[in-house]
Chain A
Amino acid sequence: MFKRADEDARRPVTIHVEGIAVEAREGDSVSAALLASGLDVRRTTAVSGARRLPYCMMGVCFDCLVTIDGVGSRQGCLVPVTEGMQIEIQKGKREIGR
Chain B
Amino acid sequence: MTAPKRDHYDVVVIGAGPAGLAATATAAGAGLSTLLLDENAGPGGQVWRAIDSTPVTTRALLGADYWSGAETVQAARTSGAEIIHRATVWSLDRNLEIGVSIGGGSAFIGADHVIIATGAQERPFPIPGWTLPGVMTAGAAQTMLKSSGLVPDGRTVIAGQGPLLWLLAAQIPRLGGRIDRVLDTTARSNYLAALPHAFAFMTSPYFAKGLALMREVRAKVPVISGVTELAAAGNGKLASVSYVAGGQRETVPADLLLLHQGVVPNVNLAMAAGVDHRWDELQLCWSPVLDADGNTSVAGIAIAGDGAGIGGAQAAVYRGHIAARAATAKLAPTTAVKLEPMAGLRQKLACAERGRAFLDVLFQPAKQFRIPADDTIVCRCEEVTAQEILDSVKIGATGPNQLKAYRRTGMGPCQGRLCGLTVTELMAEARGKTRDEIGYYRLRAPVKPIMLSELASLPQTDAATQAVVRG
- Given the interface contacts A53-B134, A55-B136, A56-B136, does A5 sit within 8 Å of B56 by beta carbon? yes
Enumerate chain B residues within 8 angstroms of A53, measured Cβ to Cβ: 133-134, 136, 237
In the complex, whether B144 has a CB less than 8 A from a CB of chain A is: yes
Residue of B nearest to A25 (CB): B148
Contact of B237 among A42, A48, A61 (CB under 8 A): A42
The verdict on A85 contacting chain B, using a C-beta distance below 8 Å, is no
Contacts A7-B58, A51-B133 given: A61-B417 contact, CB under 8 Å?
yes
Partner of A1, one of B255, B380, B414, B417: B255
Q: Are B414 and A61 touching (Cβ within 8 A)? A: yes
How many residues on chain A are close to B (CB under 8 Å)? 40
Chain B: number of interface residues, binned into ranges: 35 or more
CB pair B136 A57 closer than 8 Å: yes
Residues of B43-57 whose CB lies within 8 A of A: 46, 50, 53, 55-57
User: Is A14 in the interface zone, CB < 8 Å from B?
Assistant: no
Query: Is B373 interfacial (CB 8 A cutoff)?
Result: no
A96 CB within 8 Å of chain B: no
Q: Is the CB of A73 within 8 A of B236?
A: no
The answer to whether B55 and A8 touch across the interface, beta carbons within 8 angstroms, is: yes
Which B residues are CB-close (under 8 A) to A32?
143-144, 147-148, 150
Binary interface profile of B, 144-161, with partner A (CB < 8 Å = 1, else 0)? 110111111110000000
Chain A facing B: main interface SS = loop
Contact present for B417 and A57 (CB under 8 Å): no
- B116-153 contacts to A (CB < 8 Å): 121-122, 131-137, 139-141, 143-145, 147-153
Give A68-84 interface residues, CB cut-off 8 Å to B: 73, 77-78, 80
Residue of A nearest to B377 (CB): A50
Would you call B122 and A63 a contact (CB within 8 A)?
A: no
Shortest Cβ distance from residue B94 to the other chain A in the assembled complex, whole angstroms = 25
Minimum CB–CB distance from B338 to chain A (whole Å) comes to 37
* CB neighbours of A6 from chain B (8 A): 176
Q: Complex Cα distance A77/B88, Å?
A: 14
Interface string of A47-65 (1 = CB under 8 A from B): 1101111111111111100
**CB-based contact B57/A7 at 8 Å:** yes
Given A35-B144, A42-B237, A52:B41 Cβ within 8 A: no
CB-defined contacts of A8 to chain B, threshold 8 Å: 55-56, 148-149
**B273 close to A (CB within 8 Å):** no
Contact sample, A vs B, 18 pairs, CB 8 Å cutoff: A1-B153, A3-B153, A3-B177, A5-B150, A6-B176, A7-B61, A25-B55, A28-B147, A29-B148, A35-B150, A48-B383, A53-B237, A54-B140, A56-B139, A56-B140, A58-B46, A60-B266, A61-B380
Interface residues of B (CB under 8 A from A): 39-41, 46, 50, 53, 55-58, 61, 86, 121-122, 131-137, 139-141, 143-145, 147-154, 175-177, 236-237, 255-256, 266, 380-383, 412-414, 417-418, 448-449
Q: Which 4 A-B pairs have the closest CB atoms?
A: A57-B140, A53-B133, A5-B149, A3-B153
Q: Which residues of A contact B (CB under 8 A)?
A: 1-10, 25, 27-29, 32-33, 35-36, 42, 45, 47-48, 50-63, 73, 77-78, 80
Q: A32-B143, A35-B144, A78-B41 are in contact. List 16 more A-B contacts (CB 8 A).
A: A1-B152, A2-B144, A5-B149, A28-B147, A29-B148, A51-B236, A53-B134, A54-B140, A55-B135, A55-B140, A55-B418, A56-B140, A60-B121, A61-B418, A62-B412, A80-B41
